[in-house]
Structure 1
Amino acid sequence: MKLSNLWKEKDVTLSFEAFPPKKDSDFDSVATAVEKIAQLKPDFMSVTYGAGGGTSTYTSQIAQIVQAQGVTALAHLTCVSSDRERIHHELDALKEAGIENILALRGDYPEGYDPAAPRDFRYAYELVQEIQAYGGFCIGGACYPEGHVECLSQAEDLRHLKEKVDCGVDFLTTQMFFDNSALYSFLYRAQEVGINVPILAGIMPVTNAAQMTRILSLSGTTLPNRFRMILDRFR
């Protein structure tokens, strides 16, 4: 099922996210975990695409396992470390596997990335355009309630987001946040600039204090003092 049809039927949905294994030897344990989570019957499950495409070879495989459990799969796809031929290879593989939903992302810069070097893709909106032209997929995009860490202002970030949505994004999912007011403010500002697609709240369970500190520094997400005190006490 395309997720754009899901939200026509349901106002409230629940999803989970799976991370493909980094090593071949871990594939079976990840597949087993995905099968167990799928038994909870979420509305859909997303499958990430490794930084620099590092675990990308497993994305479609894990997504197929998700769908074999009767759960709709959403496959992540990043573009900054790929050329057009590689992207089309990935789109062909997802189409052949029966995956109808893609979360289109720029992705993290790979080690040794040269911004001046000629590339087929530099931004997520270019990947959205490529998928839209390819056809057949429901396309999701990322958004940032507190602003993208690389943007000078939230207003600038919203302008870029509107451009991306106008290129063919069917829905957005947010970066994690720990203050609901940040999300409510963002939803209001997004609506003001004409962004009317469904926006899903991205929730990050806190299970590791050191990992959370690193993720916060990379994403620019604010951790309210009341949560920081809990994290410090029970780390």
Structure 2
Amino acid sequence: MNSQRPFKQRYSFEFFPPKTPAGMEKLQTVRDELAKRNPDFFSVTYGAGGSTQERTINTVVNLHKQGISTAPHLSCIGATTETLTELLDLYKANDIQRIVALRGDLPSGMGAHGELRYANDLVEFIRKHSGDHFNIEVAAYPEFHPQAANAEQDLINFKRKVDAGANSAITQYFYNIDSYFYFVDRVETMGIDIPIVPGIMPITNYSNLIRFSDMCGAEVPRWIRKQLEAYGDDIESIKKFGEEVVTEMCERLLDEGAPGLHFYTLNQAEPSLNIWDNLSLSDQEKIAF
């Protein structure tokens, strides 16, 4: 079986907090373009060990006030429960209703993990502090977390996050569709019954894609690597090929029951919007399978 049980399809775009006023101005333009498609929400990333905390807060609050629900990423690595409490209270006061709860990465040179070590601890903490106020998203890894001891342990770790109170999950990006559906089937046999939304990374730059994918454990199938290599410095051909590959992947995901898509925009509008428009998502009702 490929599809999950009936879940309303949802679509979202992810940003990272800009470092400069110029970056914020660019993000505002990107946000305005993406908002025309009326996504369900935007999300904003959170640096390792909370290194972008202030910028994440400001970006989330500013974007949320403009009319589309915006979800902050929140990580527990390197954080204290006091800091997390302050952040949850701040977000609640600003009518933020969705949080992406992550373990996060330990920054170079930081020796302590913090009071909460794993994402399931963070989910449990949010639930104890804020009850059901927040819709909690967690991460899922169809090709398994690069630091997982083995595949079975990774599935157990995912179940812990769900049991702690997660409402839904967003996957790391992937280009092997079978890995997503196999992951969904496996967690369903474990009694997990939440939407698992595919994370989608548009392909626009070969060297950046390979470097980042190798670092985070996302497989780029050999045939895609070889075709991208063949284009060399022909950026337009890389973008065209990438758009075709990812559009076809998204079509299959939706046709076979994925409960929506989450686009990793890298603060660019065009690559994600091209895929969105190819799929005619603005013309479709958000249906439940």
Name the TM-score, length of structure 2 as normaliser. 0.73
Task: Specify the alignment match of 1:221 in structure 2.
Answer: 218
Over 3 Å counting, the alpha-carbon distance change for 1:13 and 1:83 in structure 2 is same
Which ranges of structure 2 fall in alignment gaps of 5 or more residues?
1-5, 233-289
Shift of 1:118: 6.9
Which ranges of structure 1 fall in alignment gaps of 5 or more residues?
1-8
Q: Distance in 1 between matches of 2:62 and 2:101?
A: 21
Shift of 1:233: 2.3
Shift of 1:209: 1.8
Q: Distance in 1 between matches of 2:228 and 2:176?
A: 15
Moved more, 166-175 or 54-63: 54-63
Given candidates 12, 15, 34, the residue that maps to 1:15 is 12
- Cα deviations by residue, 1:146-168 (Å, 9 ceiling, x for unpaired): 11111121111001111111001
Matched, 1:175 2:172: yes
Taking the TM superposition and a 5 Å limit, the aligned residue runs for 1:141-180 are 141-180=138-177
- Cα deviations by residue, 1:63-108 (Å, 9 ceiling, x for unpaired): 2333333212121111102111111121122112110100000111
- What letter is aligned with 1:121? L
Q: Distance in 2 between matches of 1:77 and 1:187?
A: 24
Q: Distance in 2 between matches of 1:39 and 1:126?
A: 37
Q: Distance in 2 between matches of 1:233 and 1:65?
A: 42
Q: Distance in 2 between matches of 1:158 and 1:15?
A: 25
Q: Distance in 1 between matches of 2:128 and 2:186?
A: 29
Q: Secondary structure at the match of 2:137?
A: strand
Task: Specify the alignment match of 1:32 in structure 2.
Answer: 29
Q: Which runs of 4+ in 1 moved over 3 A?
A: none
Q: Secondary structure at the match of 1:14?
A: strand
- What letter is aligned with 2:64? Q
Moved more, 166-175 or 53-62: 53-62
Q: Percent identity?
A: 36
Q: Distance in 2 between matches of 1:149 and 1:222?
A: 11
Task: Specify the alignment match of 1:108 in structure 2.
Answer: 105
Shift of 1:25: 4.9
Q: Secondary structure at the match of 1:21?
A: coil
Given candidates 190, 198, 201, the residue that maps to 1:201 is 198
Task: Specify the alignment match of 1:59 in structure 2.
Answer: 56
Which structure has more RCO (C-alpha within 8 Å, separation ≥ 6)? Answer: 2
Moved more, 26-35 or 210-219: 26-35
